[in-house]
């Protein structure tokens, strides 16, 4: 779906050039979950912002093989505090685009039917993250960019949200940024390991069925291998 060719991004601080991404070449497969994994500061978020068009590239290009309708799920939910759950979910839609049956189904799928008209201040962190995800799905994005969306959640809520991603992913291409190896192993069809602005290695997990048991020998061994490279 996406071809990234010789992509570089740099900026200047007090006339000193900082290279964030250097000659990156990458293919993002359609209808798959590609996880970008790496330490803080390796260029993961910058790569997402370049794909989304929120920043300009310094060199190289990003080619879309088909028209992409992009949804972005940020590290924090970014809900409108003056709107309720329902209003936040339909916020990006024009009036004629709102399908009430579909919206109700989405709210039910994220387990918030009883909170449809709740204020943002009445939601927990996990609930807010689910609303943010539902907003992107209501927008019918076929390319979803997710920048460490569950990093601030407790382990139980994070596991629940990861399961939601797998349930709702069909027919969508997802690029998911994380520094959590377990999260990458659970979600990914392919893991791209970034280091100092370049690709250090990649791992194809497309032959492993989902949901996955992270305690199986194959994933434990793969986790050890990834950790040795980070």
Query: Which of 21, 72, 25, 58 lies closest to 195, judged by CA?
Result: 21
Q: pLDDT digits over 48-81, tens only?
A: 999 999 999 999 999 998 888 899 998 888 999 9
Q: Reading across the β-sheet that carries 143-147, which strands appear in turn?
A: 70-73, 143-147, 173-178, 33-37, 190-195, 198-204
pLDDT of 152 above 80: no
Output 50-59 pairs: Cβ under 8 A, ≥24 positions apart. 50/7, 50/9, 50/21, 51/2, 51/4, 51/145, 51/175, 52/145, 55/9, 57/7, 57/8, 57/9, 58/8, 58/9, 58/10, 59/6, 59/7, 59/8, 59/23
Q: pLDDT digits over 159-197, tens only?
A: 888 888 898 788 899 999 999 999 999 999 999 999 988
Which domains, from first to last, does the chain contain?
A: 2-68+142-229 (3.40.50.300), 79-141 (no CATH)
pLDDT of 94 above 90: no
Predicted local confidence at residue 111, as pLDDT: 85
Q: pLDDT digits over 211-226, tens only?
A: 999 999 999 999 999 9
Query: Which of 197, 92, 100, 199 lies closest to 135, judged by CA?
Result: 92
Give the mean model confidence (pLDDT) for residues 142-161. Answer: 87
Length of the chain counted residue by residue: 230
Predicted local confidence at residue 83, as pLDDT: 96
pLDDT of 46 above 90: yes
Is pTM beyond 0.75? Reply is yes
Predicted local confidence at residue 167, as pLDDT: 83
Predicted local confidence at residue 194, as pLDDT: 95
């Amino acid at each position: 779906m996406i071809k990234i060719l010789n992509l570089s991004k740099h900026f200047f601080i007090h006339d000193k050039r900082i290279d964030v991404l250097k000659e990156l070449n990458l293919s993002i497969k359609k209808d798959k979950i590609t996880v970008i994994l790496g330490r803080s500061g390796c260029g993961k978020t910058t790569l997402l912002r370049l794909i989304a068009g929120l920043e300009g590239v310094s060199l190289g290009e990003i080619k879309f093989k088909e028209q992409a309708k992009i949804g972005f799920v940020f590290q924090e939910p970014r809900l409108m505090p003056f709107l309720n759950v329902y209003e936040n979910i339909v916020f990006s839609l024009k009036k004629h685009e709102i399908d009430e049956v579909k919206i109700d189904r989405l709210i039910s799928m994220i387990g918030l039917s009883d909170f449809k008209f709740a204020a943002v201040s009445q939601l927990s962190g996990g609930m807010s993250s689910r609303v943010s995800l539902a907003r992107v799905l209501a927008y019918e994005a076929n390319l979803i960019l997710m920048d460490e969306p569950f990093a601030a959640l407790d382990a139980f809520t994070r596991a629940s949200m990861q399961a939601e991603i797998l349930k709702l992913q069909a027919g969508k291409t997802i690029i998911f940024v994380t520094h959590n190896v377990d999260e990458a192993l659970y979600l990914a069809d392919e893991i791209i390991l970034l280091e100092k602005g370049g690709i250090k290695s990649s791992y194809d997990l497309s032959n492993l069925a989902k949901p996955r048991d992270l305690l199986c020998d194959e994933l434990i061994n793969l986790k050890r291998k990834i950790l040795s490279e980070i």
